[in-house]
Protein backbone atom coordinates (compact mmCIF):
# COMPACT_ATOMS: atom_id res chain seq x y z
CA UNK A 1 0.00 0.00 0.00
CA UNK A 2 1.05 3.69 -0.13
CA UNK A 3 4.36 5.03 1.15
CA UNK A 4 3.80 7.04 4.32
CA UNK A 5 6.63 9.44 3.45
CA UNK A 6 4.38 10.92 0.76
CA UNK A 7 1.29 11.22 2.93
CA UNK A 8 -1.07 14.21 2.73
CA UNK A 9 -2.59 15.50 5.97
CA UNK A 10 -5.83 17.00 7.29
CA UNK A 11 -4.00 20.19 8.32
CA UNK A 12 -5.82 22.43 5.84
CA UNK A 13 -9.21 20.81 6.37
CA UNK A 14 -8.80 20.99 10.16
CA UNK A 15 -8.09 24.72 9.97
CA UNK A 16 -11.29 25.23 7.99
CA UNK A 17 -13.39 22.98 10.26
CA UNK A 18 -12.24 24.96 13.25
CA UNK A 19 -13.17 28.20 11.46
CA UNK A 20 -16.75 26.93 11.08
CA UNK A 21 -16.63 25.53 7.54
CA UNK A 22 -18.17 22.14 8.24
CA UNK A 23 -18.44 20.82 4.71
CA UNK A 24 -15.02 21.11 3.07
CA UNK A 25 -14.73 19.55 -0.39
CA UNK A 26 -11.46 18.56 -2.01
CA UNK A 27 -11.49 18.72 -5.82
CA UNK A 28 -9.14 17.37 -8.48
CA UNK A 29 -9.19 16.35 -12.15
CA UNK A 30 -7.85 13.58 -14.35
CA UNK A 31 -7.15 13.57 -18.07
CA UNK A 32 -6.44 17.24 -18.66
CA UNK A 33 -3.45 16.50 -20.88
CA UNK A 34 -4.78 13.48 -22.75
CA UNK A 35 -5.47 13.45 -26.50
CA UNK A 36 -8.69 11.46 -26.21
CA UNK A 37 -11.56 10.88 -23.83
CA UNK A 38 -13.22 13.24 -21.37
CA UNK A 39 -11.63 15.34 -18.69
CA UNK A 40 -13.01 14.05 -15.38
CA UNK A 41 -13.20 15.77 -12.00
CA UNK A 42 -14.15 14.50 -8.58
CA UNK A 43 -15.14 16.19 -5.33
CA UNK A 44 -14.95 14.61 -1.87
CA UNK A 45 -16.31 15.91 1.45
CA UNK A 46 -14.78 14.04 4.40
CA UNK A 47 -16.90 13.97 7.56
CA UNK A 48 -16.09 17.08 9.66
CA UNK A 49 -13.28 16.53 12.17
CA UNK A 50 -12.22 13.29 10.47
CA UNK A 51 -9.24 11.59 12.02
CA UNK A 52 -6.17 10.62 10.06
CA UNK A 53 -7.01 6.92 10.25
CA UNK A 54 -8.53 4.16 8.14
CA UNK A 55 -8.91 5.02 4.47
CA UNK A 56 -7.94 8.65 5.09
CA UNK A 57 -4.46 7.53 6.16
CA UNK A 58 -4.08 5.52 2.94
CA UNK A 59 -5.02 8.09 0.30
CA UNK A 60 -2.29 9.68 -1.81
CA UNK A 61 -2.04 11.65 -5.01
CA UNK A 62 -3.43 9.13 -7.50
CA UNK A 63 -0.24 9.27 -9.58
CA UNK A 64 1.68 7.70 -6.67
CA UNK A 65 -0.61 4.67 -6.41
CA UNK A 66 -0.86 1.46 -8.38
CA UNK A 67 -4.05 0.80 -10.36
CA UNK A 68 -4.97 -1.96 -7.88
CA UNK A 69 -4.54 0.35 -4.89
CA UNK A 70 -6.56 3.10 -6.56
CA UNK A 71 -9.44 0.74 -7.32
CA UNK A 72 -9.44 -0.58 -3.74
CA UNK A 73 -9.38 2.91 -2.28
CA UNK A 74 -12.16 4.15 -4.58
CA UNK A 75 -14.86 2.13 -2.84
CA UNK A 76 -13.43 2.83 0.61
CA UNK A 77 -13.39 6.59 -0.04
CA UNK A 78 -16.96 6.52 -1.32
CA UNK A 79 -18.07 4.61 1.78
CA UNK A 80 -16.23 6.85 4.24
CA UNK A 81 -16.98 10.25 2.66
CA UNK A 82 -19.83 12.41 3.86
CA UNK A 83 -20.47 13.04 0.16
CA UNK A 84 -18.68 12.60 -3.14
CA UNK A 85 -19.34 13.44 -6.77
CA UNK A 86 -17.83 12.92 -10.21
CA UNK A 87 -18.30 15.14 -13.26
CA UNK A 88 -16.84 15.24 -16.74
CA UNK A 89 -16.61 17.26 -19.93
CA UNK A 90 -16.68 15.48 -23.27
CA UNK A 91 -14.10 15.75 -26.06
CA UNK A 92 -16.63 17.80 -28.05
CA UNK A 93 -17.00 20.23 -25.13
CA UNK A 94 -13.22 20.43 -24.81
CA UNK A 95 -12.92 21.25 -28.51
CA UNK A 96 -15.69 23.85 -28.31
CA UNK A 97 -14.47 25.78 -25.26
CA UNK A 98 -10.86 24.78 -24.62
CA UNK A 99 -9.39 22.49 -22.00
CA UNK A 100 -9.23 25.03 -19.15
CA UNK A 101 -12.94 25.99 -19.30
CA UNK A 102 -13.85 22.32 -19.83
CA UNK A 103 -11.88 21.34 -16.74
CA UNK A 104 -13.73 23.97 -14.71
CA UNK A 105 -17.02 22.66 -16.14
CA UNK A 106 -16.18 19.10 -15.08
CA UNK A 107 -15.36 20.36 -11.57
CA UNK A 108 -18.62 22.31 -11.39
CA UNK A 109 -20.53 19.18 -12.41
CA UNK A 110 -18.78 17.19 -9.68
CA UNK A 111 -19.66 19.83 -7.09
CA UNK A 112 -23.30 19.75 -8.19
CA UNK A 113 -23.44 16.07 -7.17
CA UNK A 114 -22.57 16.87 -3.54
CA UNK A 115 -25.17 16.73 -0.78
CA UNK A 116 -24.77 18.56 1.53
CA UNK A 117 -23.55 21.50 -0.51
CA UNK A 118 -19.97 22.31 0.45
CA UNK A 119 -19.22 25.63 2.11
CA UNK A 120 -15.52 25.59 1.26
CA UNK A 121 -13.52 24.16 -1.65
CA UNK A 122 -9.90 23.02 -1.71
CA UNK A 123 -8.88 22.73 -5.35
CA UNK A 124 -5.78 21.40 -7.03
CA UNK A 125 -4.43 24.33 -9.08
CA UNK A 126 -7.69 25.38 -10.81
CA UNK A 127 -9.78 28.40 -9.76
CA UNK A 128 -13.58 28.37 -10.08
CA UNK A 129 -14.67 32.03 -10.21
CA UNK A 130 -18.19 31.13 -11.33
CA UNK A 131 -18.80 28.90 -8.32
CA UNK A 132 -20.16 30.99 -5.45
CA UNK A 133 -18.43 29.03 -2.70
CA UNK A 134 -15.37 30.11 -0.68
CA UNK A 135 -12.34 28.36 -2.09
CA UNK A 136 -8.58 27.97 -2.17
CA UNK A 137 -6.58 26.88 -5.20
CA UNK A 138 -3.15 25.44 -4.46
CA UNK A 139 -0.46 23.88 -6.61
CA UNK A 140 0.09 20.20 -5.81
CA UNK A 141 -2.85 20.16 -3.41
CA UNK A 142 -3.28 16.46 -4.20
CA UNK A 143 0.09 15.82 -2.55
CA UNK A 144 -0.69 17.69 0.65
CA UNK A 145 -4.45 17.61 1.38
CA UNK A 146 -6.33 14.42 2.18
CA UNK A 147 -9.61 15.55 0.64
CA UNK A 148 -7.94 16.55 -2.64
CA UNK A 149 -5.88 13.35 -2.78
CA UNK A 150 -9.10 11.37 -2.29
CA UNK A 151 -10.73 13.33 -5.14
CA UNK A 152 -7.73 12.61 -7.37
CA UNK A 153 -8.25 8.88 -6.85
CA UNK A 154 -11.97 8.97 -7.67
CA UNK A 155 -11.34 11.06 -10.80
CA UNK A 156 -8.53 8.83 -12.03
CA UNK A 157 -10.33 5.52 -11.46
CA UNK A 158 -13.55 6.78 -13.07
CA UNK A 159 -11.71 8.12 -16.12
CA UNK A 160 -9.60 4.99 -16.54
CA UNK A 161 -12.77 2.92 -16.50
CA UNK A 162 -14.27 5.08 -19.24
CA UNK A 163 -11.15 4.70 -21.41
CA UNK A 164 -11.18 0.92 -21.00
CA UNK A 165 -14.78 0.97 -22.26
CA UNK A 166 -13.74 3.15 -25.22
CA UNK A 167 -11.00 0.65 -26.04
CA UNK A 168 -13.67 -1.93 -26.82
CA UNK A 169 -15.16 0.45 -29.41
CA UNK A 170 -11.87 1.71 -30.86
CA UNK A 171 -9.28 -1.03 -30.25
CA UNK A 172 -6.75 0.29 -32.77
CA UNK A 173 -5.76 3.09 -30.37
CA UNK A 174 -5.19 0.91 -27.27
CA UNK A 175 -7.07 3.32 -25.00
CA UNK A 176 -7.08 0.65 -22.27
CA UNK A 177 -3.30 0.81 -22.20
CA UNK A 178 -2.55 4.48 -22.84
CA UNK A 179 -5.72 6.01 -21.32
CA UNK A 180 -5.82 8.49 -24.21
CA UNK A 181 -2.40 10.04 -23.57
CA UNK A 182 0.01 10.80 -26.40
CA UNK A 183 2.46 7.93 -26.04
CA UNK A 184 4.39 6.94 -29.16
CA UNK A 185 2.20 3.97 -30.08
CA UNK A 186 -0.93 6.14 -29.79
CA UNK A 187 0.62 8.81 -32.02
CA UNK A 188 1.57 6.12 -34.54
CA UNK A 189 -2.03 4.84 -34.59
CA UNK A 190 -3.25 8.39 -35.17
CA UNK A 191 -0.80 8.80 -38.05
CA UNK A 192 -2.05 5.57 -39.63
CA UNK A 193 -5.77 5.67 -38.95
CA UNK A 194 -6.56 9.30 -38.10
CA UNK A 195 -8.63 10.34 -35.09
CA UNK A 196 -11.91 8.90 -33.88
CA UNK A 197 -14.86 10.84 -32.41
CA UNK A 198 -13.41 10.44 -28.90
CA UNK A 199 -10.23 12.33 -29.79
CA UNK A 200 -9.79 16.00 -28.94
CA UNK A 201 -9.53 17.44 -32.43
CA UNK A 202 -8.39 20.86 -31.18
CA UNK A 203 -5.28 19.42 -29.52
CA UNK A 204 -2.04 20.06 -31.38
CA UNK A 205 -1.03 16.56 -32.57
CA UNK A 206 -4.47 15.99 -34.06
CA UNK A 207 -5.06 19.54 -35.31
CA UNK A 208 -1.66 19.56 -37.05
CA UNK A 209 -2.44 16.30 -38.81
CA UNK A 210 -5.83 17.60 -39.95
CA UNK A 211 -4.23 20.79 -41.31
CA UNK A 212 -1.92 18.72 -43.55
CA UNK A 213 -4.95 17.24 -45.30
CA UNK A 214 -6.65 20.63 -45.63
CA UNK A 215 -3.86 22.06 -47.78
- What is the model's pLDDT at position 155? 99
Q: What pLDDT does 134 receive?
A: 98
pLDDT at 8: 98
pLDDT digits (tens, 9 = 90+) for 69-110: 999 999 999 999 999 999 999 999 999 999 999 999 999 999
- Collapsing DSSP to helix, strand or coil, 58 comes out as coil
How many other C-beta atoms lie within 10 A of the C-beta of residue 38?
A: 26
Burial class of residue 47 in the structure, from the number of CB atoms within 10 Å of its CB (0-12 exposed, 13-18 middle, 19+ buried): middle
Identify the H or E element spanning 108.
helix 99-112
| DSSP assignments along 129-162, one per residue | TTS-S-EEEETTHHHHBHHHHHHHHHHHHHHHHH
pLDDT at 212 over 70: no
pLDDT at 205: 86
Contact between 153 and 65 (Cβ < 8 Å): yes
**Residue 213 clears pLDDT 50, i.e. is over it:** no
Q: What is the pLDDT of residues 137-158, one digit of tens each?
A: 999 999 999 999 999 999 999 9
Domain that holds residue 54: 4-214
Name the domain count of the chain: 1
Q: Mean pLDDT over all residues of the chain?
A: 95
CB-based burial label for 95 (10 Å; 0-12, 13-18, 19+): middle
User: What confidence score (pLDDT) does residue 1 get?
Assistant: 54
Within 8 A by CB and 6+ apart from 17, the residues are 24, 48, 49
What CATH number is attached to the domain comprising 45?
Answer: 3.30.420.10
Q: 13-60, pLDDT tens digit by residue?
A: 999 999 999 999 999 999 999 999 999 999 999 999 999 999 999 999
Amino acid sequence: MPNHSTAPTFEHEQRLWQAGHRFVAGIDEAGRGALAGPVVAAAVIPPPESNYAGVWSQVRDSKLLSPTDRETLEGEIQAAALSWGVGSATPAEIDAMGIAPATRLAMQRAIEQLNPRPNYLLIDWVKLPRVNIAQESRSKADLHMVSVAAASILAKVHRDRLLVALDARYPIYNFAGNKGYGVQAHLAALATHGPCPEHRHSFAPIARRASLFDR
